[in-house]
Structure 1
């Protein structure tokens, strides 16, 4: 019987192995088919100049504030208003509210701003959709509970008292960089917004609307933060600043305003923007207009004209992108195509490489305040935000360009590597735009009730830097060793990593695993196995991964959400880097193949990109394509290297 049992067992094991191998072969064939379709679709999206750029979708505050800006400046047209209003109406939900991301909860401030924009467009408050929106606003606490930035917009039009807003005086321009609460304590996106707002709030303009907004008020006092500890101290500071605002020192105020205006003027980009992002752009235009720059002034003209390049017109609607991501998208697309097996001398990659080399940043920026001796280098996010190169883009561009093997790229890569490594913070981690931008006092100001206002190191950016430096043979360098230690300390108790610039723990974990392995951490190390276990535990029964944006506020959502192509790809990239092969990976690949559209891409209405964790979110339209291409390409490369017989 022993011999029979042994023979039967061997036969069963052989059958199982044969079945697994056959299943793996079938899965590889489906993956190859899906990859070819996706790769071809991606190639078809390249611009003649060599770059890729997907739409960067956010929420309707972009469109509402654009109409409010144009109303304030006196340049709003009927056509622009009608087109924007159609888009805003199309995004309203059944309960009358607007959200900040697909299927997200109602957002009070977004709903207030959308409502006011529609009133500008002529929608009467008695219309059903307007009554529903007003009821949502009142139910959420009314305009009295809206964020400070929304109430600033209302104050510009006489719908809120300037005296009831927190104060940040332009005199902060005189605080030296070592002093707490100087402008460089804020993240670059925040300081570019705060400085022009000091000008606006010093002028306190009022340009009344032809209507009031009583239907959005509850009559209750505005919300107040708890008056304990630091909050109490900053509330007292705000009261003192209000007293100063009533009688500022005239000469000091004039000098402060002059310095603030010069600071804003010096930071306008070649495309007319400020940092290539919407908030500082609109506030800078208002601030300069209040400072005497007319609509016909070249700076104002350039700023308004630049907005047109961020405008998407479609089916009679008009919507704005908060920013654009061509450098980021191009680097990711190149990596994806190389992962897909495209030859490095392919014409598309050659054009993309040439374009990226032309986009190298060779001049100084605000980062020099904290790193004055560091030579410039690296890449920015957009076409023209040359004043703000960022570490994350630089890492991804280096990873893409180095694989092309272009001799003419070597010097640019070396400059980028030197600059990127030099942006390390004191704790060994890396942030996006600045080094050591970690003073949390800014967070206590009553003015700062929305979005991330500092730029501390994050796991995803640090991981990308580690991966780029390791790819250049620097895995044993002190900067990489310290960054790896930083990542190990940042690992969550459940084994995942927090994702600062993508949603959320799936993004962070999918970024860190390839970096750790590239830096020499063994796939069998406990930190890697815990992360792998977390990814496996959060895979949906259908095979995909998804994590809702609510995970930034509510831990119950961590690792939970509708499966998406980009998040499934992030998880697969992490698992593959950790040496995983088998059912979890195969099911993820199968989900991508099953969910693919006939044109080779994927539907992805859910947002997976992050601007401000918990407050501002992004749907990068190219994410649904570039990351699946990378994941499928890496899966097939490992399958071909190991052979189907190696599959458990």
Structure 2
């Protein structure tokens, strides 16, 4: 049976229409999309713990967090950071602690016992990550001496130190100062003085846990570097009191304020907690609740606009105009206090709606791409964004997510660092590829521009030996390869180029028998591609889009045929999985910190399959219309047989 008569492809148009309508229906009244930014149970547990330690009795908020924690516990008693990870010690300890302090196990005593066994088998509380141990020390469950000495980080605030707090990547530097204050003052916030985790300690460890009240070390408070740390934190606060919109750093800053002598009923405390509560995601219909580490409204909105724009939704539609107004209102106007010595300019966008001081490259590219159809109408904002984007190119030719030339790799070896990719922000293939594709595709720079050539040189030099590229912010090699290949194609790299030849071979080799693509979060930990046993809509969409870019560039008929068949199989799988234009996936396809934080963007199955299938439909129609030249070998898909 010819592919033109394959049952799945007869419903391609209707699937696209349904998917478009689903996206339109989920737009909020302010023009944004507010789909969940899901990082698992870790932020739910940290929030529940923090509210207890602050004696904040918002039971409606607390109960939904505890409900989600209970539902997420696995049969072996553990909690994990992604499905199939065999459990994570720190996340399990945090979830266990949250249920313990509220006595919220219910009738799940067996599950409680299993959790205890899992924690003890993995090494106990002392083996947890530092962020987890900070929450335990705040509750008085472990001594502060179990954490790295604050003296490791104090030089970041020395006046003439060779390293500075600005040398760290944004999300880490917003956590370090409150951690420094808390560990320096050894603050304990527990309101009741109860032990909740004593059954997880050995007898020797119990003797070392000294219950202390807050005290101020005169030497620390008189220290000029310490005072600079406090001043720096005050300057970094957003209007709503949070630090970059991140809930974990904001909670730590609340505790740091209390350690510095603020009363618990201080207006700043209530302001920060109110802002954090705004990031509680609630889907009453599906009975799903999650304390987001921050919201993803800007990223979501930019992607939704791109998806709708790619499908021909006109720029004068009310939907896109409201979304554009939302994005334009969120463009950064960086205060003068943050301009000094940071090399930052006006014009970028951040990830979350309440982050007004820390723009990032990925969200700026996404927002500019979304606003491209309206570039003439918002020319000032458009060119400000582009100027900021160009200013962020690193000396090596690539682009990073948050910082410029933040690549002092030795910082990863600081004793207090216990998470991968938490200290610096080097150039990455996914960010570099996305920037180059945007700049060249919209004719902002030509493919011969020195900045583009330098970026392409960097990309080609950072291809993996197997032909893939690493993706820092998506999982992992499928994502990075998608971003890099699009950039190489757009700048006109020929199809027989060695980089593209290797990329084609790798991508074709990892396609599953059913046509899908699926990559495990384990890839991020192993530093090499690890296949799932099943496909994911988001990753299949990325791979399909990549195949189509390669197909459109290819000139050799045999390879062109093979690329088309692979794309056809991927598109067929997507259509089978989303008959009504709806796709769902439980596996995270976003990366935060490998093995510690993996991200499931709830909007991804709404936008990426839609974009890829719309691209496929355009190629499909052009293939059907393609005339045959005399003596030429056919590359049209009628030559392929339909396999159910």
* Fold-level similarity (TM above 0.5): yes
Indicate if the aligned counterparts of 2:551 and 2:564 stay in contact, CA closer than 8 A: no
Give the deviation of 1:500 after TM superposition: 0.3
Contact 2:15 2:579 in 1 (8 A): no
State the partner residue of 2:542.
Answer: 570
CA deviation map 1:83-140 (0-9, x unaligned): 3222111000000000001232200011011111111111469911110100000111
Aligned partner of 1:237 in structure 2 is none
Q: Could you tell me which runs of 5 or more consecutive residues in structure 2 were left unpaired when the two chains were aligned.
A: 207-214, 553-562, 627-634, 638-644
Equivalent residue, structure 2, for 1:204:
186
CA contact (8 A) 1:608 1:617 kept: yes
Give the equivalent residue in structure 1 for 2:381.
Answer: 412
1:280 has 2:249 as partner: yes
Tell me which of 215, 220, 224 is aligned to 2:199. Answer: 215
Q: 1:597 to 1:219 in 2, by over 3 A?
A: farther
CA distance in 2, matches of 1:365, 1:339: 38
| Closer/same/farther in 2, CA of residues 124 and 629 from structure 1, 3 Å limit | closer
Q: Does the CA contact (< 8 Å) of 1:108 and 1:140 recur in 2?
A: yes
Distance 1:220 1:476, change over 3 A: farther
Tell me if structure 1 keeps the 8 A contact 2:302–2:370.
Answer: yes
CA distance in 1, matches of 2:82, 2:523: 13
SS of residue matched to 1:408: coil
Is the Cα contact below 8 Å between 1:28 and 1:639 reproduced in 2? no
Aligned counterparts of 2:218 and 2:497: Cα–Cα separation in 1:
61
Q: Taking structure 1 as reference, are residues 439 and 178 closer, same or farther at Cα in structure 2, changes over 3 Å only?
A: farther
Does 2:71 align with 1:90?
A: yes
Render the CA deviation track for 1:556-591: whole Å, top value 9, x for unaligned.
753445311111111111111122552100010011
SS in 2 for 1:312: strand
Report the number of matched residues: 602
Q: Which residue of 2 aligns with 1:238?
A: none
Q: Which residue does the alignment assign to 1:301?
A: 270
Cα distance in 1, alignment partners of residues 104 and 220 from structure 2? 44
| CA distance, structure 2, for counterparts of residue 41 and residue 58 of structure 1 | 24
C-alpha distance in structure 2 between counterparts of 1:177 and 1:335, whole Å: 46
Larger mean CA deviation between 62-71 and 107-116 belongs to 62-71
Residue 431 in structure 1 maps to residue 400 in structure 2: yes
1:509 and 2:481 are equivalent in the alignment:
yes
- Counterpart CA distance in 2 for 1:118 and 1:366 is 42
Could you say which residue in structure 1 is the equivalent of 2:558? none
SS at 1:407 equivalent: coil
State the distance in 1 between where 2:374 and 2:623 align.
Answer: 26
Question: Equivalent of 1:163, from 129, 145, 150?
Answer: 145
Is contact 1:60-1:114 (8 Å) kept?
yes
TM-score, L = length of structure 2: 0.88
TM-score normalised by L of structure 1: 0.87
The equivalent of 1:9 in structure 2 is none
Cα shift readout 1:497-541 (whole Å, capped 9, x = no counterpart):
111000000111111111111122223322112112211111111
- The answer on whether the counterparts of 2:398 and 2:458 sit within 8 Å (CA) in structure 1 is yes
**Which consecutive unaligned segments of at least 5 residues does structure 1 have?**
1-18, 223-244
Query: 2:157, 2:165 within 8 Å by CA — same for their partners in 1?
Result: no
Alignment RMSD, CA only? 2.6
CA contact (8 A) 2:54 2:189 kept: no
What per-residue deviation string (whole Å, max 9, x for no partner) do you get for residues 189-227 of structure 1?
A: 0000001111111110224542342322357999xxxxx
Distance 1:313 1:628, change over 3 A: closer
| Cα distance change on mapping 1:362 and 1:72 into 2, 3 Å | same
User: Which residue, out of 379, 387, 393, partners 2:357?
Assistant: 387
Instruction: Indicate the residue corresponding to 1:241 in structure 2.
Output: none
Aligned partner of residue 599 in structure 2, secondary structure: strand
Instruction: Compute the displacement of 1:482 (Å).
Output: 0.8
Counterpart of 1:340 in structure 2 is: 311
Aligned pairs for 1:12-91 (under 5 A) are 20=2, 22-23=4-5, 28-91=9-72
2:200, 2:374 → 1: CA distance? 60
Alignment of 1:101-500 (within 5 A): 101-123=82-104, 127-169=109-151, 171-175=154-158, 179-180=162-163, 182-208=164-190, 209-217=193-201, 249=219, 252-253=222-223, 255-313=224-282, 318-364=289-335, 368=339, 371-372=342-343, 374-402=344-372, 404-451=373-420, 452-473=422-443, 474=445, 475-500=447-472
